[in-house]
Amino acid sequence: MEYKAPKEAYKGVVREVTIGKGDKALKIGGENILPLHFFDEGSLPNPPRFALEVLDMEPADKVPHLLEPFGDAISDPIKWAKKCETFGVDAVCLTLVSTDPAEKDAPADGAAQLVKRMASEIKKPLIVYGSGDEKKDAEVLPKVAQVCAGENLLIGPVQKENYEVVGKAILDNGHVAIAQSPLDINLLKELNVKLCKFLPPERVVIDPLSSALGYGIEYSFSLIERVKQIGVITKDSMTMMPIIANLGDECWKTKQAK
């Protein structure tokens, strides 16, 4: 008797999201199988994508072996981004560190103009992260969205404290939102429900937060697996979005990495 390996077919399909435009357009998501379950019925039309991080100010506390591949480019964010492109990345991720009140508290206008320049000069789609300060991001990210209207940037973090002002700016100016919640499936779904009351789910990417070391990384993997399972197996609409893991920031702020 011929053996036939059992195959599972799932109900849900992760929404396909496009970031960038024209020749820079990049598709993410779209799968209807669990990670690495290529033996099941379904497909993974868009493989995982890789981006390198660029800061909008020269880092003062990064370790030398991290900066060495970029050389003098780290003194200029645009040059740094172009250097990242030479490593074959799928996208560039700009973090607006200088806007953090604990850093330079740089104004929103200057940050937005930098994003606009970078988006126009690089050949890859651009991801933009604010400083993570909810109040300052509520000033900076809407300005970025407005100045870069139509560029279809991936912008975040959109958090429960600022989702209305940031999310609506993303909607009005034709971008994609990064919905960030603190490693909790219930908070993740709650934020997505609120955000999707006015923003199409096809313009939302999930950032569940990703820890770098020890117990935290196991917890992160478990949560990401759970989000995938709920979305693909049970067809839960609020978890059927692509996931972004902002690993660089988490890894290099730990004392163990230094």
**pLDDT above 90 coverage of the chain, percent:** 81
What are the distances in angstroms from CA 110 to CA 38, 68, 115, 120, 241? Answer: 46, 27, 9, 16, 32
Strands (E), 118-258: 126-129, 154-158, 176-180, 204-207
Q: Is residue 90 part of a domain?
A: yes
- In this structure, what token pair is assigned to residue 126? 């651009």
Q: Is residue 233 part of a domain?
A: no
Asked if 68 and 109 count as a contact pair (C-beta separation under 8 A), the reply is: no
Dihedral angle over CA of 210, 98, 67, 93, nearest 10: 50
Q: Is residue 172 part of a domain?
A: yes
Distance of CA 155 to the CA centre of its chain: 7
pLDDT for residue 250: 72
Q: Is residue 123 part of a domain?
A: yes
d(CA 5, CA 196): 39
Q: Where residue 162 sits, what CATH number does that domain have?
A: 3.20.20.20
Residues paired with residue 27 on neighbouring β-strands, in sequence order: 18
Dihedral angle over CA of 151, 157, 163, 167, nearest 10: 10
d(CA 165, CA 31): 31
Asked if 163 and 138 count as a contact pair (C-beta separation under 8 A), the reply is: no
Q: Is residue 173 part of a domain?
A: yes
Phi-psi region at 141: left, alpha or beta (left = phi > 0; alpha = psi -120 to 50): alpha
Asked if 99 and 112 count as a contact pair (C-beta separation under 8 A), the reply is: no
Total number of domains in the chain: 1
Show the domain range for 78: 17-178+185-204
Q: Is residue 129 part of a domain?
A: yes
Could you read off the pLDDT of 115-156 as tens digits, one per residue? 999 999 999 999 999 999 999 999 999 999 999 999 999 999
Could you read off the pLDDT of 50-80 as tens digits, one per residue? 999 999 999 877 778 888 999 999 999 999 9
Residues in contact with 163: Cβ distance below 8 Å, sequence separation at least 6, in sequence order: 179, 191, 194, 195
What DSSP character marks residue 11?
A: S
Q: Is residue 211 part of a domain?
A: no
Residues in contact with 145: Cβ distance below 8 Å, sequence separation at least 6, in sequence order: 153, 155, 166, 169, 170, 172, 173, 175
Asked if 46 and 28 count as a contact pair (C-beta separation under 8 A), the reply is: yes
pLDDT for residue 215: 57
Host H or E run for residue 66: helix 64-67
Q: Is residue 232 part of a domain?
A: no
Could you read off the pLDDT of 169-223 as tens digits, one per residue? 999 999 999 999 988 999 999 999 999 999 999 999 999 987 655 556 788 888 9
pLDDT for residue 5: 86
